[in-house]
Structure 1
């Protein structure tokens, strides 16, 4: 999507205002809302988000960091490619493209030292970025963007948004597509601490995480799209440059708009940090912005209030009279009062409320904000408690979990395994080879840098719920919940190759390798015996030449299907069709089935055919009608043995393997749908 910015001359005056003046910043939000109201509709994009607001947001991203816009554009191309392979319609593809373009819009308020940090973020930095993503959602809500767009962008960053829909799923198909596209683009792009993965390696990583971090059907759709000629657009550098430059701020007005957006994000983040809740009411006495804190405190989602008339009863039944909001509108002065609410135990809880008038350039009140803060003094120390907790559980040098915290996590995972022993877990021991020589030859400061870089690399290479710990000296332990031995071995090998192939400590004269020992929990294990087993495997790796991975073999009982594997098999429907048809007619009959059932041919081989029957709705999921219950059907063609040819025909066995696209609410619903699809195919082939 290419958009350009329409200059807004009203923002030129912003250049002359103080960058952190509250009224100027919040007034810019009012102007955004007015832009939505005053813009003529008619563009299909307006159904998702006002096109003028979209242009301003993209220009702000370009102004803040052009690399973020380039990343978002590539994610958009990938998301649309995946959606096309899943049978999405034009309106759905437009939605996922816009969601991809805006999924990182919260970054426009983040300072450089965090945005461009050449390494893993600290917990506080990660929370800082997460809070900016929440601010982005609040701004999108204020622009009255579609709920579908807001949900996809929110879920992409784990932000929970109450839309008032009790039937809403935890994760929409659009958000799952965006998660895969975002991860693939990140993996295939170079970072300061690692080179880019090639597409094959990136796909392998995504497949390894399918079923936990990523939807396996979406990863498969991505792989199909990458194999098609349509994916060439991902590598068209000239088209990318043109699309990105179309959103460059080229005028003073455009730059002012962009700067205003950046500072607005920072200001709203400050409001999120300081206050339990805040909201903004325009001069027409309508709610313009309703923070997530307000939704939590008062129990009303933003979707129910934004654009609706304001009334004091929204926040309290016994508020002061006259309404402090009206006083601020009439007097153009701030006022303070106390708000009393009931906590979850039914006790009274007091909040301080400041009502602030928002003035335009002519000193006219155009809106009023209310800022609500809990007066409980103990909450002021939450940040100090978090820092103390981090200090007690993290290794001071590398920032990963320390040995004491690893012991606690191990017990938690072990207890979970004892409750569900069919779901295994594994641990990986890692030891940096010849580390003493590094310290002796290059100094202890270089050795420390090696430890930091290796820890960072390990964290970057792991994509699920693994826990990384510095066990002592140059040893690290990785705890891998719900991970069988085979998968843990693959991850250990990937880490080994990554360490061997990465420049560590920025030294050309240093080649770092590591040895690995892997063990999976077994029937008679306890935490100590499991650690010893992995340590013994590590010892074997070091004694047999280093820079290799060894493991403890799993007993035969552990080779039985895991609960996760059995769970997945419940969503596969197998059937056989025997037919007597001329070889030349088989593909004609199958083609007739495809045309009459509006199916899609996903893959064709000499002895098999892969079809999609049915299509997903706007945000995925299964509907009540069969054409909204999508399945993927693989038809394998087998000629029966001792098959005599009669009148040009032979008996042919067709094996069908049917899987749902998405996940219906009940297994029975899927198997009923699969049976109907197979019986329909059988009737086309006049089969036994």
Structure 2
């Protein structure tokens, strides 16, 4: 997407530098997402520039917060980025946007007064700890009042914690009396907290976080602003924010930044963490694998005891010598000695990429043994390379077995051009991973990617150049595939990376790393030009099949292409750690009676508007390849073929076809807020399928999948999508025996 597209969002290229809305977005690009040293240094430099421009002399307050608790400082930067862009889209005045940016950067400054053990506690806080944590807002207001002379900034920070319905008694204002900037800051603050990993919980997906905002609209948040923020999140392009940020930041001038502040605080000098250094020293000395550390000049700085045992070389004989593969007789997996230009340690220092290789080395007996080498660059927090580490794991025990199986296995499961998994192996691995992760309820994500404008490469440079581009792209996929992942060529120029034990946020970060690496690598066969690629990312969610998961990722890829290519798009809600699971007595599954014709019936409630519910339904229909039988404003009827569930044990098995009827409607709750109620029933398409043993299982799977797509929350009853079943004779009889005495009832 071209930066000129910013005109669509109300950005005037001629506007003064202090009022360009998109600059803060660059701060969302965290340093750990970059592999290149120069990119890391540039990101840190831009962070420092922005803090100084927006805070001026008060940037020392932010520096103190970063030293106290870096995650809170990073959260404040991301909140400032999002609220600046959102306020520009809304058309807020320049002065209000300035106030929002500064208030967002300093709204959590009161955590300087919170004890360290509370900020780092992984579990739930008790009442006393919670009360102590809540005092940070008042402490922050007091800190900023001593240096801030801007009433607008103080008003936003002072009232940002107020609830819209006024139920938070420590804040006097409610409703529209709360400053609009404070209401906006509360929404963005909550959204970023939910979509970021915390010490006490994993990050939620973007869709699930938006559903939480709708659930508390009218109580904690302004309903109109929640709806507006949701529209902003669904329509705005991260790549556009990034492009505008680069242009805006180059023109920034801090001449007016100090107008809000009264005095300067001296800079803090960082001190090393001696306890952490002691831990690293003990780990290095006692680990069972051989560990070698060389500096940026390839001088050997560390050589642990396990490396001595494995190679027969003492630490005293090699320390401060120049590293060379010849020192340990290093060769590739076939035993060929590595030349100096093939040294993996030198390559890691140069390109900043970690790698895992199967190599051979000369052991203490003078023989050559197979080892697994883990090579990782050592990079400081400011992006400066300090050398690389080499971890040596003895692999001689499994090498012989691998050699016997490798030839046949490669031919059966690998793509001959790229050496990635082929389509058949991807299908097998994806079905197995989905089955295992559904049973264990652990996260699993899928990345699908496509080289942009690949046909032009074949047309302009020839098919050999196209093959070289495919091989180069596959090499990037291999480098970012972890043990347990499956990297495959899906077909043509499309590739898939299945990430086991990886949630959607982490998978999106990995996809972004691949995208940046591909875009920055020159292709000799293309005359030095670079490739670009588009990525779609999704996470396994309740009720998913391999087919629906792959279809959802493919829809995300299509969105990335429609928005301009060369970007990463996420779709899906992922798994909910607090998801309720059905529990019923073992005899209930035998004798339960339901409504005539229906296998499963549920009534779901969500705060999301009806328009958004229909939008999510389109994705559900597409990903499950459903047939639309009937549609109207009040009802949608879908048919699902028995082959679309992925539950068959044999290729000739065919599941029961099902029909789903969906009746959504909007209604007012007790507080006068609009909610969407969805009545859903699933029945067999053919009456003879009612006795099929898998029909009920398939119906429940389909219902769970719909619930995930709609992100249903029923806070009034505390149950998400409760199944309605008429009590059977055995249920009623059991209930009589299990009733407590009258004196014990509550």
**TM > 0.5:** no
**TM-score interval, normalised by the smaller of the two chains:** 0.3 to 0.5
